């Protein structure tokens, strides 16, 4: 078939979306309800409020489309023509994370439109996190407003919870691939409720991920960290992640990899956080 549309639902969601008239590809992709959270030239994330079984629910609708032929050619083996599409991979990844209780967001549906086999338009729909706040916003906007004593307590708790979350993810042989601060979301400012989101590049490994694979995730977290956390706090984070009190040979090898991978990302990730403070203990 030269032109094909398909939509896949998580269990129990086909009827629910049907009641909202969002159960076809065109209806879901063309949805203009709610508010735009993020938009670029070829993608959009929209927050949509719907009524599901008599109760209000918040869904997030991530759409992507092709604007240039070069986009197809550059990703021919990454789901545009061959292999699973990004939305299909993210749907599966989010399902795993939700099952493991590493994300409160759950997949709802994904859809694909292909023309002559090429992926032209796609969407992913997921449930929302209650009163979400990305970790970068919490560090930038919330922590500075707290008193010194409370700020120290909250900084320590944040780092412990993120270390716990990343350790649990890697223990499941899963790497995120885009583990930047903005892709960690706190629910209702409760640091015990941090969710992993935005996982199209996530990968479930057959064996325990190697040092470099784990270091890639940790480096994304560490990239802007020197501007906000002391060197001792960053070291404590890695010790908590490794669930040890002492830095052994394996820990030192991991730190070397993290610092090597984080170095070229630091300025770009600081710009994403949009902070002006000079580094306290830049490496």
- Domain parsing of the chain, residue ranges: 3-127, 132-273
**CA distances in angstroms from 163 to 79, 133, 230, 251, listed in the order given:** 32, 18, 16, 14
- 35-71 b/e with 16+ CB inside 10 Å = b? eeeeeeeeebbbbbebebeeeeebbbbbbbbbeeeee
Q: Which two tokens stand for residue 51?
A: 């009524």
- Rounded Cα distance, 17 and 180, in Å: 31
Identify the sign of the CA torsion 137, 140, 44, 62. Answer: negative
Name the token pair of 222: 């560490």
Separation of alpha carbons 113 and 26, rounded Å: 9
Region for residue 102 given its phi and psi (left: phi exceeds 0; alpha: psi -120 to 50; beta: otherwise)? alpha
Q: What pLDDT score was predicted for residue 278?
A: 44
For residues 13 and 10, give the distance between their C-alpha atoms in angstroms, rounded to a whole number. Answer: 6
Query: What is the pLDDT, as a whole number, of residue 279?
Result: 43
CB-based contacts of 143-149 (< 8 A; 24+ apart in sequence) = none
Domain 132-273: give its CATH architecture.
Answer: Orthogonal Bundle (1.10)
- Beta strands per DSSP E along the chain: 3-9, 35-39, 43-52, 55-65, 107-115, 118-127, 132-134, 174-175, 184-187, 190-196, 203-204
Q: How far is CA 209 from CA 173, 174, 205, 250, in A?
A: 6, 8, 6, 14
Q: Are strands 190-196 and 55-65 parallel, antiparallel or unpaired?
A: unpaired
> Are the CB atoms for 6 and 119 separated by under 8 Å?
no
Per-residue pLDDT for the chain (283 aa), expressed as one digit of tens each? Answer: 578 898 999 999 999 999 999 999 999 999 999 999 988 878 999 999 998 888 889 999 999 888 765 555 555 545 556 668 889 999 999 999 999 999 999 999 999 998 877 788 999 999 999 999 999 999 999 999 999 999 999 999 999 999 999 999 999 999 999 999 999 999 999 999 999 999 999 999 999 999 999 999 999 999 999 999 999 999 999 999 999 989 899 899 999 999 999 999 998 888 888 654 444 433 3
- Quote the CA–CA distance of 42 and 47 in Å, as a whole number: 17
What pLDDT is recorded for position 72? 54
């Amino acid at each position: 078939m030269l032109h094909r549309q398909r939509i896949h639902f998580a269990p129990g969601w086909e009827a629910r979306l049907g009641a909202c008239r969002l159960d076809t590809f065109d209806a879901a992709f063309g949805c203009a309800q709610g508010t735009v959270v993020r938009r670029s030239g070829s993608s959009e994330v929209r927050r949509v409020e719907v009524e599901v079984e008599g109760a209000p629910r918040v869904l997030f609708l991530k759409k992507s489309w092709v604007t240039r032929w070069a986009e197809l050619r550059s990703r021919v083996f990454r789901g545009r023509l061959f292999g699973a599409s990004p939305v299909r991979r993210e749907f599966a990844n989010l399902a795993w994370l939700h099952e493991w209780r590493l994300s409160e967001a759950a997949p709802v549906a994904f859809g694909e439109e292909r023309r002559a086999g090429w992926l032209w338009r796609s969407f992913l729909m997921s449930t929302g996190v209650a009163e979400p706040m990305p970790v970068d916003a919490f560090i930038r906007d919330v922590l500075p407003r707290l008193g010194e004593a409370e700020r120290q307590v909250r900084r320590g708790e944040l780092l412990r919870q993120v270390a716990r979350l990343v350790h649990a993810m890697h223990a499941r042989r899963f790497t995120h691939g885009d583990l930047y601060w903005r892709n960690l979301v706190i629910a209702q400012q409760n640091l015990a409720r941090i969710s992993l989101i935005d996982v199209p590049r996530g990968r479930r490994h057959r064996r325990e991920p190697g040092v470099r694979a784990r270091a890639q995730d940790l480096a994304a977290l560490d990239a802007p960290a020197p501007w906000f956390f002391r060197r001792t706090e960053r070291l404590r984070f890695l010790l908590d992640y490794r669930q040890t009190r002492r830095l052994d040979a394996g820990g030192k090898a991991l730190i070397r990899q993290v610092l090597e991978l984080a170095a070229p990302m630091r300025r770009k990730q600081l710009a994403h956080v949009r902070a002006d403070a000079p580094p306290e203990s830049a490496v």
